[in-house]
Structure formats: C-alpha cells, structure tokens
Amino acid sequence: MSKSCPKCAGRMEQGFVPEAKDYSTNVETWVEGAPRRKWWGIDFKGLRRLPIETWRCARCGYLESYAPA
C-alpha cells in the first residue's frame, strides 16, 4: 500500500503510536461510539476496537491515522 501526503504530496511511511499501560505497551486502538465513563475509567465492554495505523510523511512529518477493519 502506498499513500501520498495530503499536505505536500510526499511519501507516507507506515508506523503506529504505542499506548503505554501499567506494565505493558500496546498499539493505540480506535473504539466505536462515545466513551462510557465509569468511576474506574472507561468501559470498553462490547465495543468494537481496531488497532490504529499512523502514517507519517517523510517530507513534512504530517501524521495521518487509519483503522482498517
């Protein structure tokens, strides 16, 4: 898959944004719907989650994110 930058038409390179948890690191995810806040944090139960691809322009550094199914 090749993408070009919407800002400067430079070449986009694939990457990801790590999400730091207490004792592990994961890839940031997209979650459907609005966040349901509970007293202990956000409730993700039953919601669709997709890992986020973040593409970076090699020329200007612009970041663009995708969450392919």
* Residues at the contact surface with Zn ion, assessed by CB under 5 A: 5, 7-8, 10, 57, 59-60, 62
In terms of CB distance, is 44 or 53 closer to Zn ion?
53
Asked if residue 1 lies in contact with residue 55, where contact means CB atoms within 8 angstroms, the answer is no
In terms of CB distance, is 53 or 59 closer to Zn ion?
59
In terms of CB distance, is 16 or 62 closer to Zn ion?
62
| Min CB(5)–Zn ion separation in Å | 3
Alpha-carbon torsion angle 22, 27, 31, 36, nearest 10? 10
Which value, in Å, is the radius of gyration of the alpha carbons in the chain? 15
